[in-house]
């Protein structure tokens, strides 16, 4: 069985306070994008296999030890409560840039839960899947819902909202710059914003440039001033709104759907145009 995990962007991101448990309360809008990895799971019929999960991958190279992979973690998380689960072979084709603020890894983990639930008829409800997803990471619960959502708490307190960008297209630019999330949080003085992102997002998109802010942008651009070139060019080429997703380093521009956009950026940058639906 095959499933296609998609990525997301953050439309605005405010860090409101640091909690006693070390996490931060935030608010953001999660918006899903039709840009996908591919994940396949089959039952392993090789009786001599000693591992519950045999994992393989193609596409963008996945760094780090295999045990840190959220797909594998998701399998063992369910295996703990459903020991009858079959041993499986899992293959991930990675197309979404990693460590880019697009939530690709989080999507892969969450979609593993969804796929196992469907394939093996575990009959888990949405709220149960969200609970498992939160154990994998703060962004993972969003991908269980996978519709435009207003996120609070660590990002796991989700409220579906009416927001459609279907009359626009999106261009994402990832320069390959790694932004350490812990460092990014350390650069921010948490504060409650004057106006909630939930209110800002209901205003005409042409007004967002002056009101819809990602708190991570300022320190990231100060530390990596070359990234400002990307944002400036997105606006100079006609974006109605441009911003950074998550803690970076991906920037995105929202453009009228019929506009031809040709960016003049280094060939080493990952650039993708996405029609929104």
Domain CATH for 76: 3.30.230.10
In whole angstroms, what is the distance from residue 102 CA to residue 86 CA?
Answer: 31
Same domain, 120 and 146: yes
Q: Is the pLDDT of residue 164 over 60?
A: yes
Same domain, 137 and 247: no
Same domain, 230 and 263: yes
Residue among 8, 94, 169, 231 flagged as catalytic: 8
Average pLDDT over residues 144-163: 96
The pTM of this model reads 0.94
Task: Centre a 10 Å sphere on the Cβ of residue 242 and count the other Cβ atoms it contains.
Answer: 22
Same domain, 186 and 99: no
Asked about 8 being catalytic, the answer comes back as yes
Instruction: Tell me which H or E stretch contains 229.
Output: helix 227-236
| pLDDT for the residue numbered 48 | 57
The per-residue pLDDT of the chain, averaged, comes to 94
In whole angstroms, what is the distance from residue 31 CA to residue 54 CA?
Answer: 32
Last residue of a domain, one of 160, 190, 221: 160
Same domain, 129 and 222: no
Same domain, 89 and 179: no
- With pLDDT > 70 as the criterion, what percentage of the chain qualifies? 99
Same domain, 145 and 182: no
| pLDDT for the residue numbered 68 | 87
Report the domain count for the chain: 2
Q: Is the pLDDT of residue 277 over 80?
A: no
Taking Cα atoms as reference points, which of 270, 98, 240 lies closest to residue 169? 240
Same domain, 17 and 148: yes
Last residue of a domain, one of 137, 160, 183: 160
Same domain, 154 and 20: yes
Contacts of 133 (CB under 8 A, 6+ apart): 109, 110, 113, 140, 141, 143, 144
Q: Is the pLDDT of residue 248 over 60?
A: yes
Lowest-confidence region among 47-61, 128-142, 232-246: 47-61
Q: Is the pLDDT of residue 91 over 90?
A: yes
Which residues span the domain enclosing 6?
2-160
Residue among 37, 108, 139, 215 flagged as catalytic: 139
Same domain, 191 and 213: yes
- What 3-state class would DSSP assign to 5? coil
Q: Each residue of 185-211: pLDDT tens digit?
A: 999 999 999 999 999 999 999 999 999
Peptide bond into 29 cis (omega under 30): no
Same domain, 116 and 206: no
Asked about 139 being catalytic, the answer comes back as yes
Same domain, 38 and 154: yes
The CATH number linked to 249 is 3.30.70.890
Q: Is the pLDDT of residue 47 over 80?
A: no
Task: Tell me how long the chain is.
Answer: 277
Last residue of a domain, one of 124, 142, 160: 160
């Amino acid at each position: 069985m095959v499933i296609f995990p998609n990525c997301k962007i953050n439309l605005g991101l405010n860090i409101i306070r640091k909690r006693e448990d070390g996490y931060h309360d935030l608010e953001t809008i999660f918006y899903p994008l039709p840009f996908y990895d591919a994940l396949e799971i089959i039952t392993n019929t090789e009786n001599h296999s000693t591992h519950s999960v045999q994992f393989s991958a193609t596409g963008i190279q996945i760094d780090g030890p295999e045990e840190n992979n959220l797909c594998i973690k998701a399998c063992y998380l369910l295996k703990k409560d459903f020991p009858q689960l079959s041993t499986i072979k899992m293959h991930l084709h990675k197309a979404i840039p990693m460590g880019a603020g697009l939530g690709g890894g989080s999507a892969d983990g969450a979609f593993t839960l969804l796929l196992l639930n469907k394939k093996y008829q575990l009959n888990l409800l949405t709220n149960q899947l969200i609970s498992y997803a939160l154990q994998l990471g703060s962004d993972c619960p969003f991908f269980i819902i996978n519709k435009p959502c207003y996120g609070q708490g660590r990002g796991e307190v989700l409220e579906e909202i009416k927001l459609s960008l279907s009359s626009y297209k999106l261009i994402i630019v990832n320069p390959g710059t790694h932004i350490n999330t812990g460092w990014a949080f350390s650069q921010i003085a948490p504060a409650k914003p004057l106006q909630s992102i939930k209110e800002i997002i209901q205003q005409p998109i042409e007004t967002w440039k002056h009101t819809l802010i990602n708190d991570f942008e300022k320190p990231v651009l100060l530390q990596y001033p070359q990234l400002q070139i990307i944002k400036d060019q997105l606006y100079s080429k006609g974006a109605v709104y441009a911003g950074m997703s998550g803690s970076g380093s991906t920037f995105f521009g929202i453009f009228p759907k019929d506009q031809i956009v040709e960016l003049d950026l280094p060939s080493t940058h990952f650039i993708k145009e996405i029609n929104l639906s």
